[in-house]
Amino acid sequence: SNTPSNRVRDIFKYYIDHGTKIALASGRPLAALKNLFEDFSDNLIYICANGTKIVIGGETVSVSPLANKKELASIMEIVRSLKCDFMVDTINCTMVENTVSEEFYYLLKKSDIEVTRVNDVGDYWNQVLKISLDSSPAGPFEFIKNPLLKEIGGNYTLIPTGGRFVDIIGKNVNKGTAVRTLQRLYDIKSNETIVFGDAMNDVDMFDTSLNSYAVNTAVTSVLKRAKSTILPPNEDGVARCLARFI
């Protein structure tokens, strides 16, 4: 949600004050996530861009660049042949090429995503973490069947997100690997970890915890991977669930 309820904010503050580590895991870039909880944003951990970047206390502790210069050039050739809008998350910002439609550009701005326009994202190959393809109007589950996407190769993962995007990330990089990084860093066990998700880019996190919850409105393939379900965000599902552990 772009506007977390007071109930969510209060429960997060309670857990943080009692020493619990809370990580926001999203396909979105860091700046958009920090805006959700501005008054205590530095007390949160951020798993950004589907696990390709981890930020703790304002410091970036992990980044997973997508490809080398030659590989990225090949990927971008395929991406451009799809003739869809796309954005690229880099280490420092979100980029779109100057050929992007104005409708798509303003959609990103409306979603609180700061966007930098460039001529060719390939010029920033060593900073690219993730490519997000706009799947509209087909939708991500139909768009991902496009045979052109099969040409991207086995070193990368294509994953539908909870919205209109299909993301291209490194094969062994996802929200789940990011959670495991944090578990090792803080010596937190799977039975001490609680994860919540509602989309296909969340299911790898479910494997890191004995306490995994999917939003009950999620698609069947997501629901099957979680141990249990919670109410949707507009009914404060996360906050209601966390309150039970107090």
Starting at the earlier edge strand, list the strands of the sheet with 228-230.
Answer: 194-197, 211-215, 228-230
Binning pLDDT at 50, 70 and 90, where does residue 2 land?
Answer: low
Binning pLDDT at 50, 70 and 90, where does residue 238 land?
Answer: very high
Q: What is the pTM of this model?
A: 0.93
Residue 150 has pLDDT above 70, yes or no: yes
Tokens of 192: 């001490």
Whether 150 contacts 157, CB under 8 Å: no
Tokens of 71: 């590989």
Whether 232 contacts 216, CB under 8 Å: yes
38 vs 175, more confident:
175
Binning pLDDT at 50, 70 and 90, where does residue 202 land?
Answer: very high
pLDDT in tens, 70-89: 999 999 999 999 999 999 99
Q: Is 214 helix (H, G, I), strand (E, B) or coil?
A: strand
Residue 68 has pLDDT above 70, yes or no: yes
Q: Please give the Cα distance from 101 to 129 (Å, whole number).
A: 22
User: Which amino acid appears at position 121 of this protein?
Assistant: V
